């Protein structure tokens, strides 16, 4: 492993605060070098925001860093330990194919984890090879950038390199490494790990570190850890409401895939819903529909309950009182989620003020969309552009009745019709990363080494609320031959 002085040339300003936690929470491990790294996707705008030198990152030395063949001098590479409930079953986990190079300090003073995903075996690989394949890494790049464009808190992707090596899955596949950027990789599962295998002092050290990093405003509160729990609940209620509002289905909402920061993470078998149905599942491994679209809000509070359980020793020294504090705090989730969702849905319908019967108006529309298999995104798009013929519902008598009720509702506010339409266009994406279009981009890259399809898709997804002519082609729903769609974990 070559250590390079990349500080001045590339612009890395790395700290390693996580490495100052008790060693129980990580293992020092260096990435495994690869044969012949080749940069295939690079996020120029993200690099600029991070204060990094684009030219140097695209150089031989920069690509070698993305591949794990070279590491910056300031880096202290490590793999994080964590646990998690996977489809409801608790197990010990950890970074089985990822290495955290360190925490980059941006020009604005913000701290970002720089992680290599697919960088080789670690002490937590559990028999795996520690590698990743090109298709899933490109998919994570596309979806994470799409989520960023939609204004949803998310980890992001800085680069994808091909390794020049073959990875064996069901068949030989090209290897790849993704550079992931996150405000941190601390998960609900990290706290579960601390609560199950650490001491109370180690759990407190993790909690204090996380509070200092993400929620310093609660550090002086009377019950700091209760306030900490409240903040995480607020972030997750907001995040999952945003998922629901755009029809995003994570696919694998295990507790190890729920961040304490409130960012979306781990884009494995995720996808966006076409036809509206709460029972929509894309993941090949979710055979019981545990993580179906309509179940995501409930899974959110289930995961938060596991987080609260892990915090019990810190909430109060008396177990019974600690449970009472946890339960009362968790009870706020449903109200917070509903408030976030209804506020977002009002905006999607051009509603500025609040009246009691708004929720039934929303529910009726969703029921009609489900009944007539209407496209979720395009229904709201049609309402936002006054092109109701594109909704697929215009010829339905029930929809005509709903439409009149909606128009009457808009008259119960000061704002005029044009102002409502402007609000709707800001709140309803004209496009989403359609599953069949993502697959077309991946197929071109994998089969033809052609990244132009992916580049064009990323360009239109960077501003999904633009409503430009260039987006028209990307608004088309899939043909029947592209359904049903299924996603795979990619590990």
What residue ranges do the domains of the chain occupy? 2-182, 188-341
Alpha carbon distances (Å) from 315 to 122, 200, 202, 228, 230: 33, 11, 15, 10, 12
Pick the more confident residue, 483 or 368. Answer: 368
Q: What is the mean pLDDT of residues 23-42?
A: 97
Q: Are 154 and 145 in contact (CB under 8 A)?
A: no
pLDDT of 5 higher than 80: no
- Residue-level pLDDT at 196: 98
Q: What is the mean pLDDT of residues 401-424?
A: 97
- Residue-level pLDDT at 482: 61
- Residue-level pLDDT at 484: 66
186-243 pLDDT, tens digit per residue, is: 999 999 999 999 999 999 999 999 999 999 999 999 999 999 999 999 999 999 999 9
- Residue-level pLDDT at 336: 98
pLDDT of 93 higher than 90: yes
**391: Cβ contacts below 8 Å, ≥ 6 apart:** 374, 378, 379, 382, 383, 399
Query: Cis omega before residue 484 (within 30°)?
Result: yes
- CA-CA distance, 201 to 190, in Å (whole number)? 15
**264: Cβ contacts below 8 Å, ≥ 6 apart:** 144, 147, 152, 153, 154, 155, 239, 243, 250
Confidence bin at 435 (pLDDT 50/70/90): very high
- What are the backbone dihedrals phi and psi of residue 111, each rounded to the nearest 5 degrees, phi first? -110, 130
SS3 per residue for the chain: CEEECCHHHHCCCEECHHHHCCHHHEEECCCCCCCCCEEEEECHHHHHHCCCCHHHHCCHHHHHHHHCCEEECCCCCEEECCEEEECCEEEECCCCCEEEEEEEECCCCCEEEEEEECECCCCCCCCCCCEEEHHHHHHHHHHHHHHHHCCCCECEEEEEEEEEEEEECCCEEEEEEEEEEECCCCEHHHHHHHHHHCCHHHHHHHHHHHHHHHCHHHCCCCCHHHHHHHHHHHHHHHHHHHHHHHCEECCCCCHHHCECCCCECCCCCCEECCECCCCCCCECCCCCCCCCHHHHHHHHHHHHHHHHHHHHHHHCCCHHHHHHHHHHHHCHHHHHHHHHHHHHHHHHCCCCCCCCCHHHHHHHHHHHHHHCCCEHHHHHHHHHHCCHHHCCCCCCHHHHHHHHHHHHHHCCCCCCHHHHHHHHHHHCCCCCCCHHHHHHHHHHHHHHCCCHHHHHHHHHHCCCCCCCHHHHHHHCCCCHHHCCCCECCCC
- Residue-level pLDDT at 392: 83
What number of other Cβ atoms are within 10 A of residue 355's Cβ? 12
- CA-CA distance, 98 to 79, in Å (whole number)? 6
The mean of the pLDDT values for the chain is 95
Find the range with the poorest average confidence among 158-162, 327-331, 346-350, 390-394: 390-394
465-485 pLDDT, tens digit per residue, is: 999 999 999 999 988 756 666
Find the range with the poorest average confidence among 20-34, 62-76, 389-403: 389-403
Residues with active-site annotation: 256
Torsion, Cα of 443, 291, 83, 97 (10° steps): 0
pLDDT of 356 higher than 50: yes
pLDDT of 7 higher than 50: no
- Residue-level pLDDT at 74: 93
- Residue-level pLDDT at 287: 85
């Amino acid at each position: 492993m070559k250590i390079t002085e990349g500080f001045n040339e590339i612009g890395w300003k790395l700290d390693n605060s996580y490495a100052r936690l008790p060693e129980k929470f990580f293992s020092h491990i260096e990435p495994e070098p690869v044969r012949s790294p080749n940069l295939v996707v690079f996020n120029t705008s993200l690099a600029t925001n991070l204060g990094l030198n684009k030219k140097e990152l695209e150089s031989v030395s920069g690509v070698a860093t993305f591949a794990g063949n070279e590491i910056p001098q300031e880096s202290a590479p490590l793999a994080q330990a964590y646990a998690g409930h996977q489809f409801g079953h608790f197990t010990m986990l950890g970074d089985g194919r990822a290495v955290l190079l360190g925490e980059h300090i941006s020009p604005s003073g913000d701290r970002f984890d720089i992680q290599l995903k697919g960088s080789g075996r670690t002490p937590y690989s559990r028999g795996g090879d520690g590698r990743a394949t090109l298709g899933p890494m490109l998919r994570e790049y596309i979806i994470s950038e799409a989520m960023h464009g939609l204004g949803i808190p998310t980890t992001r992707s800085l680069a994808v390199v091909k390794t020049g090596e073959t990875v064996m899955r069901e068949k030989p596949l090209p290897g790849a490494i993704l550079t992931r950027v996150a405000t941190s990789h601390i998960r609900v599962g990290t706290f579960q790990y601390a609560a199950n295998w650490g001491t109370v002092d180690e759990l407190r050290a993790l909690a204090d570190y996380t509070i200092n990093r993400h929620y310093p405003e609660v550090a002086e509160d009377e019950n700091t850890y209760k306030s900490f729990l409240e903040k995480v609940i607020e972030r997750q209620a907001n995040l999952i409401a945003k998922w629901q509002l755009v029809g995003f289905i994570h696919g694998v909402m295990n507790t190890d895939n729920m961040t304490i920061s409130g960012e979306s993470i781990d884009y494995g078998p995720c996808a966006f819903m076409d036809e509206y149905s709460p029972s929509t599942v894309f993941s090949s491994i979710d055979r019981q529909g545990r993580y179906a679209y309509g179940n995501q809000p409930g899974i959110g509070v289930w995961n938060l309950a596991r987080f609260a359980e892990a915090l019990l020793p810190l909430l109060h020294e008396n177990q019974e009182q600690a449970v009472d504090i946890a339960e009362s705090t968790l009870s706020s989730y449903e109200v917070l989620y509903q408030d976030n969702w209804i506020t977002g849905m009002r905006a999607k319908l051009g509603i500025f003020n609040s009246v009691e019967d708004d929720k039934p108006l929303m529910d009726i529309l969703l029921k009609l969309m489900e009944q007539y298999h209407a496209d979720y995104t395009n229904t709201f798009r049609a309402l936002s552009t006054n092109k109701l013929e594109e909704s697929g519902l215009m010829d339905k008598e029930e929809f005509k009745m709903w439409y009149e009720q909606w128009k009457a509702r808009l008259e119960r506010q000061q704002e005029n019709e044009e102002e409502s339409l402007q609000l709707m266009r800001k709140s309803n994406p004209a496009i989403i990363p359609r599953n069949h279009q993502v697959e077309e981009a991946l197929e071109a890259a994998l089969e033809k080494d052609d990244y132009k399809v992916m580049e064009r898709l990323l360009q239109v997804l960077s501003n999904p609320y633009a409503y430009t002519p260039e987006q028209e082609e990307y608004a088309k729903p899939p043909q029947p031959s592209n359904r049903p769609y299924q996603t795979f974990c990619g590990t």
